[in-house]
Each structure stands twice: as C-alpha cells, then as structure tokens.
C-alpha cells in the first residue's frame, strides 16, 4: 500500500481559498509534499521544472484551464505518466468524457468531503497508509 506521505502533489486552482482547502484536506489524508499553482500555465511550468506524482486540478481557470493542462501534461513525455484528478463543479458529463479522452485518471465533484477526495485518490493509487 502506498504511503500518502511519499506521493508529491501539485494543487491547481485559481482561488487561493480553494487551494488552501484542498491542501488542508490532503494534509488530513496524510500528504506532506504539496505544491500549488494558480492556473494551468504556471502548473505546467512547475511540473516541467519538478515533476509530481499527482496533479489535482480545477477546471475553470484563466490562461490555461484544467482540460488544456491535462492535454499538455499528457503530451510532454517527461511528465506524461503523472496521475491527474480533475475537480469539477458538478458532474458535467461532457467535460468528464472529454477529460477521459485526454487521459484523466479520476475526477471529484465540488464541494467535496475529505473522505470523498481520499476515495478518488485511492481509486488511482490504491489504499493509502
């Protein structure tokens, strides 16, 4: 079983409050290596400079939205394998289907609970310790 503390995470959301809430939820789950970016463009730069094991990204963001970030991640060989969980405002079928086409690993509907986020991450990595 993977240890949450050994998984590095990049949180991408244009709202500072939402980033803080996601970080807090991840810390409750046991994650320790958590970085943040305010939009897809910054996130891509961040990942190319220092890869992460997991990206948790909002969809609606300025400059580069979550879907464009996902496509960019999947098209850059050094970071192509990064696990990617998309946060959506609602279960938007079309958005989720497009994200699946582009290789998203899972998605989580806001407003999420800590357990809900944990479940989504465990569906990707297996049960976390």
Partner 1 sequence: MIGRDYSHDDELRATKVHVTQGESHVSTDPNVVMTTVLGSCIAACIRDPQAGVGGMNHFLLPDAGDGRSGSGGDAVRYGAYAMELLINGLLKKGARRERLEAKIFGGGKLFDSLSDVGASNAAFAERFLRDEGIPIVSSSVGGVSARRVEFWPVTGRVRQRLVAVDNAPQEVRRPAPIPQPASNAGDLELF
> How many chain residues are in contact with partner 1, going by CB under 8 A?
33
Location of structure tokens 């310790």: 129
Q: Which residue from 34, 55, 83, 117 is in contact with partner 1, where contact means CB under 8 A?
A: 117
The span from the CA of 82 to the CA of 64, in Å, is: 18
Q: Which is nearer to partner 1, 89 or 126 (CB)?
A: 89
Q: Residue 35 corresponds to which tokens in the numbers above?
A: 């970085």
Q: Residue 54 corresponds to which tokens in the numbers above?
A: 């997991």
The span from the CA of 57 to the CA of 67, in Å, is: 9
Short-list 79, 129, 87, 92, CA closest to 108? 87
Give me the least distance between CB of 47 and partner 1, in Å please.
Answer: 23
Q: Which is nearer to partner 1, 51 or 88 (CB)?
A: 88
What string marks each residue from 14 to 53 as x (binds partner 1 by CB under 8 A) or -? Answer: xxxxx-xx-xxx--x-------------------------
The span from the CA of 127 to the CA of 129, in Å, is: 7
Residues forming the site for partner 1 (CB under 8 A):
14-18, 20-21, 23-25, 28, 60, 62, 89-91, 93, 96-97, 100, 106, 108-117, 119, 123
């Amino acid at each position: 079983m993977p240890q949450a503390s050994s998984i590095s995470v990049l949180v991408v959301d244009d709202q500072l409050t939402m980033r803080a809430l996601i970080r807090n939820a991840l810390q409750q789950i046991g994650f320790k290596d958590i970085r943040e970016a305010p939009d897809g463009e910054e996130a891509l730069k961040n990942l190319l400079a220092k890869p992460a094991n997991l990206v948790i990204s909002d969809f609606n963001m300025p400059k580069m939205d979550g879907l464009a970030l996902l496509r960019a991640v999947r098209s850059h060989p050094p970071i192509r394998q990064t696990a990617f969980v998309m946060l959506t405002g609602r279960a938007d079928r079309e958005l989720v289907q497009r994200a699946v086409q582009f290789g998203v690993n899972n998605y989580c509907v806001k407003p999420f609970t800590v357990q809900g986020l944990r479940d989504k991450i465990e569906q990707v990595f297996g049960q976390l310790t």
